[in-house]
């Protein structure tokens, strides 16, 4: 799914005449003065496979979106947001960005990104309208009763909790809990399942293993979270092992089995990760030292990999994430601001937290999602004296 980020991208695409209306893409010469038309377009994308709507780009005589028609931008972003909030029930998630022209920043192109909604169907309710709309190859269409029933079933499936999947991952972890280490577990899955998601990421002439290696390398080099902790997520030294669901890899550091990261990326876009060193007791009888940087950094990088995969697959929808740290009882923080202050040891055996995030956020800001999952635990163990995301 093409989502332009600069004026140059739009100009080039129009000049090459490669753009046309599809089930997931449309262009409009201008923003309609009729609120109902805007509501129909956005609800239709949300009720189907999601999509991108560009205002300021019109069709030529051959039906190609090749005519540039920059629009006045002032107030239009707010207007569309208000229409979505008042003319569609329930309100779908959208993202609106403006691209200004270089010669006149008051005009440009408005990009409306509409993820496929796990809360569909969304009804248009403006001017006495009470209909559900969807997308076909050449435009919007009214959904029939069977279509609406399918969307309610899609919603029911999407509402299923990720907690059982997290509990299963803990149960089937590569290593059992022990007295020396605490373990990190993460699971993730698109709210709207699609068995072809990983396939959609692969370029012609490439394969899944090459794709995963490239994305892991890209995230490792991105500087999304400063390195210097062990173990870290990276390219598996033994390569990728094909499993029925997807591809398994392992990064190992040092002589102990716990000093490693195991992960699997599945064909349907779901994934899991296990890290054996969320905390460690350095000597016999010592409390486990909790490594907030390992937990924060590993979580951030894992989510960044998923964000890149979803971006390449053009998946814009919601993603469910579950995180757990097991074997925590008696853990102490790695660092405190006051060396003479004694902090209470963590009294619980484990920690669980779940979150639902848009795939766009995993691409643009995985660190913020990681912080939502990790910081309640960090603050409890450190009593507010540690923030592993600061200056990282």
How far, in Å, CA of 57 to CA of 64, rounded?
10
Among 18-22, 94-98, 284-288, which stretch is predicted with the lowest mean pLDDT? 284-288
Burial class (CB in 10 A: 0-12, 13-18, 19+), 341: exposed
- Strand, coil or helix: what is 142? strand
Concatenate the DSSP letters of all residues of 292-322 into one string: HHHHHHHHHHHHHHHHHHHHHTT--SEEEEE
pLDDT given for residue 247 in this prediction:
97
Mean pLDDT of 365-384: 96
Report the pLDDT value the prediction gives residue 336, as an integer from 0 to 100.
52
Least confident of 106-110, 134-138, 168-172: 134-138
Ranking 50-54, 69-73, 114-118, 253-257 by mean pLDDT, the lowest is: 253-257
Domain boundaries, the chain: 7-154, 163-382
CB neighbour burial string for 81-107, b if at least 16 within 10 angstroms, e if fewer: eebbeebbeebbbbbbebbebeeeeeb
Tell me: pLDDT of 388 over 60. yes
pTM above 0.85, yes or no: yes
Distances (CA, A) of 272 to 231, 305, 313: 16, 12, 18
Q: Looking at residues 241-252, what average pLDDT do you find?
A: 95
Distances (CA, A) of 269 to 118, 124, 282, 305: 16, 31, 37, 11
How confident is residue 79, by pLDDT bands cut at 50, 70 and 90?
A: very high
Q: 172 and 165 in contact (C-beta within 8 Å)?
A: no
Q: Which range among 226-230, 284-288, 346-350 shows the weakest confidence by mean pLDDT?
A: 284-288
Cα 101 to Cα 29, 60, 79: the distances in Å are 15, 21, 20
With bands split at pLDDT 50, 70 and 90, how would you rate the model's confidence at 305?
A: very high
Q: Sign of torsion, CA 215 218 220 223?
A: negative
Residue 104: the pLDDT is 96
CA distance 309 to 269: 8
**Contact 382/333 with Cβ under 8 angstroms?**
yes
- Looking at per-residue confidence, does 63 or 88 come out higher? 88
- Provide the mean pLDDT of the chain: 93
Q: How confident is the model over 342-374, as pLDDT tens digits? A: 778 899 999 999 999 999 999 999 999 999 999
pLDDT for 250 beyond 50: yes
Number of H helices, E strands in the chain: 10, 20
CB-based contacts of 165, cutoff 8 Å, min separation 6:
187, 189, 270, 322
Summarize the confidence of residues 14-29 as an average pLDDT: 92
Q: Domain 7-154: give its CATH architecture.
A: 2-Layer Sandwich (3.30)
């Amino acid at each position: 799914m093409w989502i332009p980020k600069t004026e140059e991208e739009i100009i080039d695409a129009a000049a090459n005449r490669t753009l046309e209306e599809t089930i997931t893409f449309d262009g409009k010469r201008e923003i309609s003065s009729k609120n109902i038309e805007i509501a129909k377009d956005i609800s239709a994308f949300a009720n189907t496979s999601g999509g991108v709507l560009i205002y300021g780009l019109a069709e030529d005589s051959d039906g190609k979106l090749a005519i540039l028609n920059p629009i006045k931008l002032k107030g239009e972003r707010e207007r569309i947001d208000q229409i979505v909030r008042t003319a569609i029930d329930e309100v779908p998630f959208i993202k609106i960005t403006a691209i200004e022209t270089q010669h006149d920043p008051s005009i440009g192109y408005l990009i409306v990104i509409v993820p496929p909604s796990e809360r569909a169907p969304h009804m248009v309710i403006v001017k006495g309208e009470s209909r559900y709309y969807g997308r076909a190859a050449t435009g919007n269409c009214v959904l029939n009763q069977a279509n609406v029933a399918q969307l309610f079933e899609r919603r029911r499936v999407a509402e299923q909790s990720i907690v059982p999947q997290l509990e299963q991952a803990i149960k089937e972890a590569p290593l059992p809990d022990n007295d020396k280490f605490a373990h990190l577990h993460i699971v993730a899955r698109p709210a709207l399942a699609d068995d072809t998601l990983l396939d959609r990421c692969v370029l012609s002439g490439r394969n899944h293993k090459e794709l995963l290696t490239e994305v892991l390398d890209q995230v490792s080099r991105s500087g999304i979270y400063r390195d210097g902790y062990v173990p870290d997520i990276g390219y598996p030294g033994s390569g990728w092992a094909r499993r029925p669901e997807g591809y398994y890899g392992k990064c190992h550091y040092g002589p102990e089995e716990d000093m490693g990261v195991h992960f699997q990326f599945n064909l349907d876009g779901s994934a899991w990760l296990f890290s054996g060193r969320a905390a460690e007791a350095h000597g016999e009888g010592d409390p486990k030292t909790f490594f907030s940087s390992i937990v924060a950094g590993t979580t951030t990088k894992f989510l960044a990999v998923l964000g890149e995969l979803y971006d390449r697959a053009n998946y814009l929808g919601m993603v469910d994430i579950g995180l757990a740290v097991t074997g925590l009882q008696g853990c102490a923080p790695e660092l405190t601001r006051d060396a003479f202050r004694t902090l209470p040891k963590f009294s619980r055996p484990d920690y669980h937290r779940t979150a639902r995030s848009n795939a766009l956020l995993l691409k643009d800001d995985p660190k913020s999602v990681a912080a939502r999952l990790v910081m309640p635990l960090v603050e409890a163990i450190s009593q507010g004296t540690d923030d592993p995301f600061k200056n990282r």
